[in-house]
Amino acid sequence: MPDVSMVVNGEARSGDVEGRTLLVDFLREGLGLTGTHVGCDTSQCGACVVHVDGQAVKSCTIFALEADRAEVTTIEGIAGPDGSLSPMQKSFRDHHGLQCGFCTPGMVMTALKLLENNAKPSEAEVREGLKGNFCRCTGYQNIVRTILAASGQDIPVTSVE
Amino acid sequence: MSYYAPTSLGDVWPLLAEGEARVVAGGTDLFPTQGDGPPPSALLDISRVDGLRGIDHDDDGWRIGGATTWSDIVAAPLPPAFDGLKAAALQVGSVQIQNVGTLAGNLCNASPAADGVPPLLTLEAEVALTSAGGTRRLTLTNFLRGVRQTALVPGELLTALHIPRQPTGALSSFVKLGSRRYLVISIAMVAAQIWLDEAGRIGGVRVAVGACSPVARRLFGLEQSLIGLRPSDLVSFSMASDALDTLSPIDDVRGSAEYRRAAVERLIRDALGQAVERSDG
């Protein structure tokens, strides 16, 4: 079986994979990085989003060998070395941007790139940027607020009836 | 399954000649169609081939390399004649798909609903098909032969798209109708390009419709009928009863033929309106 090697969350990692092994399967089963989730396996839901050479990618939509020699960042690489949450993760917690949490790793990875490419997005731009990430719990409202807050913008107070 | 990722075209030809390998660039069309069936016996990943990715420009026009992604197109500094192509790029899947999937792959996949085709028809793009023996160029119309059928012969690779110089002042747009806003396969789509003459009237128009025939089509008759109109006439011009006769929409899971025919007329007006709106800005 071919060797694959990549830098994952700053560490050189390698392993044997089959040609058909998906990147997400290598990350989860080969490297034990189970923070990256598989929701739909048909490149729609976005639970599997990771960064490959600086771009958000659905890791169920590329083979591990396509990421050979690439720099890969997964959700495990986002918090500080001491486990302290990154500002984006903290914003998800502070603004209740998750309920069951299944989509959250992909949401965080997509949100980070969204703000990297557009530091002060409008609400519409946030919603557009999230079109490849499905959430079946929150109705998206708090995720959008989370990301707007993480960008340092004021967010409207939600009224409670 | 064998997986090959050569870095030079010279290494591609022997692998292609064996005839076993399925060519992929981003692979985004491969995974959903794969389902639970057995994978191809070999994949030839061309995304690492030197010189295949990127957009160049010279006096004759633009060359878009065969491994150029949708995101590359969105980010490229291109004139307004390409606004329709960029709008299409932004509506292919989601950003994570646009980062990996390629325009050339969209063409080779030859879906009637390929979002890249209508804008490229309005740009009068050609494809370069290269093999160990040399390169031939085909118009897009000659390249796309039917549903999932192209003119590629064994041993050939779509190495680039060539887009000629565009009419001065050309503006463009792309309008897609899906069952919802995001992550959908088109029910119908229209790309338009317009340029005005010195009197501010329509000097030329190109209109292409996708997902309403086996291969997307230009509507040459309609185009001719619009020349000389004022931009403000585009909202309400009367469309000839036979303007859409070259289309052959089908009934399928996404919509009926009748619905498509009705929708296309509206989409054409929207696309023309959006293209010409940009002239005021």
Task: Say what the pLDDT of residue B279 is.
Answer: 66
Confidence category of residue A132, pLDDT binned at 50, 70, 90: very high
pLDDT per residue as tens digits for the range B1-34: 889 999 999 999 999 988 889 999 988 888 777 7
Q: Give the 3-state DSSP-derived string for B165-193, with helices as H, strands as E and coil as C.
A: CCCCCCEEEEEEECCCCCCCCCCEEEEEE
Burial of B79 (0-12, 13-18, 19+ CB in 10 A): middle
Task: Say what the pLDDT of residue A160 is.
Answer: 53
Interface test with A, best of B30, B70, B71, B96 (most A CBs within 10 A): B96
In this model, does residue B199 exceed pLDDT 50? Answer: yes
Contacts of A32 (CB under 8 A, 6+ apart): none
Task: Say what the pLDDT of residue B23 is.
Answer: 95
Return the percentage of chain B with pLDDT > 70, whole number. Answer: 99
In this model, does residue A159 exceed pLDDT 70? Answer: no
Residue of A nearest to B71 (CA): A55
**In this structure, CATH architecture of domain B171-276:** 2-Layer Sandwich (3.30)
Residue of A nearest to B27 (CA): A62
- Asked if A74 and A80 count as a contact pair (C-beta separation under 8 A), the reply is no
Chain A residues touching residue B26 (CB < 8 angstroms):
62
Interface test with B, best of A17, A62, A72, A117 (most B CBs within 10 A): A62
Task: Say what the pLDDT of residue B49 is.
Answer: 97
- Asked if A23 and A17 count as a contact pair (C-beta separation under 8 A), the reply is no
pLDDT per residue as tens digits for the range B134-190: 999 999 999 999 999 999 999 999 999 999 999 999 999 999 999 887 888 889 999
The C-alpha of B107 sits at a distance from chain A's nearest C-alpha, in angstroms, of 19
Instruction: Delimit the domains of chain A by residue range.
Output: 3-78, 87-150
> Hey, is A134 helix, strand or coil?
coil
3-state helix, strand, coil in chain A (%, to 5): 35, 15, 50
The CATH number corresponding to A87-150 among 3.90.320.10, 4.10.520.10, 1.10.150.120, 1.10.3720.10 equals: 1.10.150.120
pLDDT per residue as tens digits for the range B52-100: 999 999 999 999 999 999 999 999 999 999 999 999 999 998 999 999 9
- Give dist(CA B62, CA B160) in Å, integer: 10
pLDDT per residue as tens digits for the range A51-97: 999 999 999 989 999 999 999 999 999 999 999 999 999 999 999 99
Task: Say what the pLDDT of residue A75 is.
Answer: 98
Task: Say what the pLDDT of residue B278 is.
Answer: 73
> Hey, is A107 helix, strand or coil?
helix
- Name the average pLDDT for chain B: 93
Task: List the structure tokens of B243.
Answer: 């303007």
Task: Say what the pLDDT of residue B281 is.
Answer: 42
Interface test with A, best of B3, B53, B90, B176 (most A CBs within 10 A): B3
Distances (CA, A) of B266 to A39, B238, B241: 37, 12, 14
- Give dist(CA B121, CA B140) in Å, integer: 7
Mean pLDDT computed over B186-213 = 96
pLDDT per residue as tens digits for the range A41-58: 888 999 999 999 999 999
In this model, does residue A148 exceed pLDDT 80? Answer: yes
Across the interface, whether the CB atoms of A60 and B27 are under 8 A apart is answered no
Across the interface, whether the CB atoms of B1 and A43 are under 8 A apart is answered no
Distances (CA, A) of B229 to B78, B205, B267: 27, 11, 19
- Asked if A146 and A111 count as a contact pair (C-beta separation under 8 A), the reply is yes
Q: Which of A61, A66, A113 sits opposite B45 (nearest CB)?
A: A66
Tally the C-alpha atoms within 13 A of residue B60's C-alpha that lie toward its C-beta.
8
C-alpha closest to that of B148 among B103, B182, B123, B111 = B111
Residue of B nearest to A132 (CA): B94
CATH T-level assignment (fold) for domain A3-78: Ubiquitin-like (UB roll) (3.10.20)
Across the interface, whether the CB atoms of A57 and B100 are under 8 A apart is answered yes
Chain B residues touching residue A49 (CB < 8 angstroms):
96
In this model, does residue B114 exceed pLDDT 50? Answer: yes
Q: Which of A19, A49, A68 sits opposite B2 (nearest CB)?
A: A19
Residue of B nearest to A18 (CA): B1
Task: List the structure tokens of B123.
Answer: 């740009």
pTM score of the predicted model: 0.92
